[in-house]
Every structure is written in C-alpha cells, then in structure tokens.
Amino acid sequence: MKKDLAAALTAASRAPEVDLARASLLIARIETPGLDPEPYIARLDEMGRAARQVIDECQSAAGALSPERCVGALNDYLFETLGFEGNNDRYEDPRNSCLNEVLDRRTGIPLTLSVVYVEVARRAGLQLEGVNFPGHFLVRCSEMSASHPLVIDPFHGGAVLSEHQCRMLLRTHVGSEIAFSPSLLAPATPHEVLLRMLSNLKRVYVHMRSFPQARDVTDLLLALTPSSLGELRDRGLLAYHMNDHTAALRDLQAYLTLSSMSEADRAEQEDLEQVWEHVKTLRRRVASLN
C-alpha cells in the first residue's frame, strides 16, 4: 500500500499537467487510507461553478471587473458564504494538511487553504497561482504586472497584501534570516506545493512523536526527491526512534557515505558526527542480535 501510494504520487507529480487537487488528496491518504478522491473533486467542481456565478453577478452589476473585484467576489463566496477560515486554534492538527479534511471542516493552514483557493478560482475561470512564501503560503494573481503582483492571503480571509505587509509577514515568520525580495513572491510549481504539504505533515507528526506516520511521509518526500540527503538522514533517525535498527542502520550508513562525497560546513560536520555515533550504536545492537 505504501509503495503504491508513493508510485501514484510520483506519477501524479510528473504528469505534464499536474492535477494539484488529486495529488493533494493522494497525500491525504496518510491520514485516511483508501480515501476516494472523486467526491472531493466533484465538490471543487461545484464550488468553482458557484464562484463563477458570483463573479458573473458582480460583473453584471459593475460592468468589467478588475482582478481586485474578481478576488473580492471569490473572497465573499469562500469566506463569507461558505465560511472557510484559518485554523488558529488547532494549527498543528495534521488534518489541516489534508485537502479532504479542509473541504469537510472548512478550515486549514495557509497552504491547504491556498490550494482550495487556487483550485476553485481555476474552475471559475480565474488564473491564480500559489506562492511558496517562507513561513506562510500565499496566492498571487497572474493577471497583474509581474513587478506588482496582486498577493492574496487565504488564511486571513483572502486579504490582499501590500509589499510592506509581505515584508512584515516575512519578519513575523522568519525574522531576519531571510531578506525580502520580489523573487519570494514568484509562482510556486505544483512539485514545490506537494513537497511543502508533505514537509508540513512530517513536522506535525514528529512534534506529536507519531514516528510511523512521519516515516511514511518521509518515504513520500524521498519518492519525490530521491537525491535529498536530509530526508534520507531523517528517515534513518525516525527508524532509530522506532527501534527499527536494521532500517536505521541502512539509511544512516548511506547518508554518511553520500555526505562524505561533498564538502561540509561546521554545522553539517557536527551533524555527521552525531549520525556516526548513532551508526556505531546501531552496529553494536544489530551485531548482538546475530
């Protein structure tokens, strides 16, 4: 089942036209094995048709609609009529990263609410794109000038953000670690969206000490990014915490071997030393079982 899920997600992410909603629903099978995506795809289709009707009604009343007015009409439908909202109370709930749960409960985190926003907008005839903004996923309207994008925050009711507000948002979430640049507002690829969705789930599961689920998610991350040494290391460490000594030793030894082929800075060197200590412990434990 796990291999089937990894194969299905990999195939979905490599398709010429990635169906982000279907790929997101595949990820949701981590929480809900056997999830049928079709009812949720049908719901998004219906939401798109309803949003299109709201936008058309606004256009009939006001004439030609600017992107701002289109976004305002979409906001009214999603956040006022349907009641979608950011889940501030239970932000770390893994269901917030599962598209089916977000559609059922009408609440989620910035990333999954943005996926809903973009998918409904696309079905309503609006071209919007996700933005892989550090610490807080956003949406942008591609109909605006590339130098002055219309930046939208679905987590906060579809608020349209100025550059100053984007700078403040960056400072809130990452401090001074990253300097603001317009490149941070570039459109995210579907592959980047899926990786971030998986990374969010992995972080939540690790925080909950739900190591089996975290390892399942890491398997998916490695399926999408096979060359990621960090994910290989993390899968080994998760196996270590689960007392799966053979799997931990396999992954951590592979990590050390591959890492030795490139130069490491001080922090990376310290990490390698810690992993090496784990490997020595694992070797002793595995040997004692033989």
* Per-residue pLDDT tens over the stretch 246-272: 999 999 999 999 988 776 665 677 888
Q: Pick the more confident residue, 246 or 286.
A: 246
Tracing tokens 């915490």 back to the chain, one arrives at 241
Number of Cα atoms under 13 Å in the Cβ half of residue 142 = 13
C-alpha span between 132 and 19 (Å, rounded): 18
Task: Collapse the DSSP code of 28 into the 3-class scheme (helix H, G, I; strand E, B; otherwise coil) and give the result.
Answer: helix
Residue 235 bridge partners (DSSP):
none
Instruction: Quote the pLDDT of residue 158.
Output: 97
What is the DSSP secondary structure assignment for residue 86, as one 8-state letter? E
Average pLDDT value over all residues in the chain: 92
| Short-list 148, 145, 124, 131, CA closest to 75 | 124
The confidence band for 59, taking pLDDT boundaries of 50, 70 and 90, is confident
Instruction: Give the 3-state secondary structure of residue 130.
Output: strand
Q: Could you read off the pLDDT of 220-251 as tens digits, one per residue?
A: 999 999 999 999 999 999 999 999 999 999 99
pLDDT tens string 147-173: 578 999 999 999 999 999 999 999 999
Res. 58 pLDDT band, cuts 50 70 90 = confident
* 228/144: higher pLDDT: 228
Pair 112, 99: CB distance under 8 Å: yes
> Band of the pLDDT at 138, cuts 50, 70, 90?
very high
Pairing of strands 107-108, 85-86: parallel
Is the distance from CB of 131 to CB of 145 less than 8 angstroms?
no
Q: Which helix (H) or strand (E) holds 160?
A: strand 159-161
Mean pLDDT across 39-47: 98
The closest alpha carbon to 141, from 117, 157, 164, 165, belongs to 117
Q: What is the mean pLDDT of residues 191-203?
A: 97
Please give the pLDDT value at position 254: 93
Please write the tens of the pLDDT for every residue from 91-137. Answer: 999 999 999 999 999 999 999 999 999 999 999 999 999 999 999 99
Q: In the prediction, which pLDDT does 265 show?
A: 63
The reported pLDDT for the residue numbered 43 is 98
- Grouping H, G, I as helix, E, B as strand and the rest as coil, residue 131 is strand
Buried b (16+ CB within 10 A) or exposed e, 16-46: eebebbbbbbbbbbbbeeebebeebeeebee
Q: Indicate the pairing of strand 150-153 with strand 138-141.
A: antiparallel
Q: Counting Cβ atoms within 10 Å, is residue 226 exposed (0-12), middle (13-18) or buried (19+)?
A: exposed
Q: How would residue 146 be classed by pLDDT, with cut points 50, 70 and 90?
A: very low
Res 32 pLDDT > 70: yes
Look at residue 271 in the predicted model and tell me its pLDDT: 82
pLDDT for the residue 29: 96
